Amino acid sequence: MTAMTEETTHFGFTQVSSKDKARHVAQVFESVATRYDIMNDLMSCGIHRLWKRFAIELAGIKRGQRVLDLAGGTGDLAAQLARLVGTEGEVVLADINATMLQVGRDRLLDKGIMVDYAQVNAEQLPFANNSFDVISMAFGLRNVTHKETALNSMWQVLKPGGQVLILEFSELRLRPLKPFYDLYSLKILPLLGQWIAQDADSYRYLAESIRMHPNQETLLQMMQQAGFERCDYHNLTGGIVAIHRGYKL
């Protein structure tokens, strides 16, 4: 009898056991949680805030809606969502990482912003079917082990007529810039991580994980296969990031 081969997946450019990837990812975000926002501002020159603002404008959030912010981490997206849904609505800030969730909770409470919190795995969302009007996920999907499973889970908990928005690093479409982009993200970014967060390895993983993430068309097809309709995407900053959108009709 042939022994069963253990399923593996990528952790950056390294192959690891699929069952261990979540643990490796957790170690990354536990290490960088308290300096995560500072690093985001530094490594994107603040542009990540414009990307997130565009995603929220694209969502067209209305007062009274129920929104799930997956991989919401430090809560910068949830804070804006909470203002839009108002006291009649609800925002659930969800993350698989307890440390990131705690940082987000503390920061939102300091600002007087009230949202709900849930430590969840995007592959197994513990919410009732047809629960949310909008699901947002910013810079989280590439860290998920089984992305198709997560997309299926999102579809289940989204209300009919609801939409999902996924903001994620993607494939640079401005080819002349690729050597400079690779130099910055693969060489300089880990140095910044060491300087600011005292953790070069975590930021090396984050740069590598971008290369292993599905490109724009592949993710679009994955969303369609999960059941989302009217799917589209918007490239931002030449495709460095893309916002994918889909509806449950």
Binding site per annotation, positions for S-adenosyl-L-methionine: 74, 95, 121-122
Residue recorded with tokens 């129920």: 66
Interatomic CA distance for residues 121 and 97, integer angstroms: 9
Is the CB of residue 207 less than 8 Å from the CB of residue 186? yes
Smallest CA-to-CA distance from 54 within 138, 152, 150, 130 is with 138
Smallest CA-to-CA distance from 41 within 83, 69, 76, 81 is with 76
Is the CB of residue 40 less than 8 Å from the CB of residue 48? yes
How remote is the C-alpha of 64 from its chain's centroid? 24
Strands (DSSP E) found in the chain: 8-11, 14-17, 66-70, 90-95, 116-119, 132-138, 158-169, 229-236, 241-247
Is the CB of residue 100 less than 8 Å from the CB of residue 168? no
CA-CA distances (angstroms) from residue 64 to 34, 133, 158, 247?
A: 32, 10, 15, 19
Pairing of strands 158-169, 229-236: unpaired
